[in-house]
Structure 1
Amino acid sequence: MTTTTAAAARVFRVRVPFSTRWNDNDQYGHLNNAVYYEAMDTAVNSWMIRAAGLDPHGDGPIAFCAASSCEFRASASFPDALEVGIGVERLGTSSVAWALGILRDGEHEPIATGRFVHVFVDAASRRPTAVPASVRAAIEEHLLG
């Protein structure tokens, strides 16, 4: 099963709402592709801050995006109410591969599926380090359990 197929079949246990804005529409009248990436990145990072206590401004580990992709299945436009579904494809020693979906509020079939790979690095040296224990615990409890 491919990543995007896996994300499309996934029931997302965590869903983060995001409001579309007038300026998110492009010249064709639908959300610009960059908006999907922004929504996914914001949802994952805000979830890690909220659920796992990640402090992106502290001196502990931080998450760098090493890879990302998005596959578009249907369009959306302002003022659609959307959500980002968050799942985990793989939890490694120093990285997390997130399986993501952009969904209409209350629906289960994603209009876009995405994947982000975050590598955790030491804030000072920028060298890979272990996924913080709090992030690992939150993933195991809320996304893998």
Structure 2
Amino acid sequence: MGKFMGIFACLLIVCLDMVGGILGIKAEAAQNQEKHLRLWIFECKEPSHDAYVLGLAAATLLGIAHVLANLLGGCSVCTQEEIEKASPTKKLSIACLVFTWIILAGGLSMLVIGIISNHKSRASCGFTHHHFLWIGGILCMVHALFAVAYYVTATSTLD
């Protein structure tokens, strides 16, 4: 039963992150469908409601996948002394945990910047902001790799 739940948890985390990544990339495509006028580094563009909704869904799925991976993997906060004495698997688990947090911060930041730029009240001109939703979508997919690696290494140290 434990192995089945572990496989199910890994698949669920990967599916949430992959769907979030796909939605982020689709949001970028929807954003690029809107009218825009570009002059050197300045750009005037209309916000895209579809990009807004898809980006919001991608950010939500990334957050849910991250919370799920942390809850199922177990958040273990260690002191410096415990880290030095820890097994290589435990050290790998901590490294994967740190990388998931870094990727979450980067991916969520990119998605939020893309979401804000597509909000209805943001029809304006300014510096170009390209590919934030696309980068956020790609980081969702990278998050899946490190989240599953964290879950696997964290649960293997418990056995």
TM-score band by shorter chain is: under 0.3
Bigger-Rg structure (1/2): 2
Q: Which has the higher contact order (CA 8 A, sep 6+)?
A: 2
- Given the two structures, how large is their TM-score scaled by the length of structure 2? 0.24
- Given the two structures, how large is their TM-score scaled by the length of structure 1? 0.25
Greater fraction strand: 1
Greater fraction helix: 2
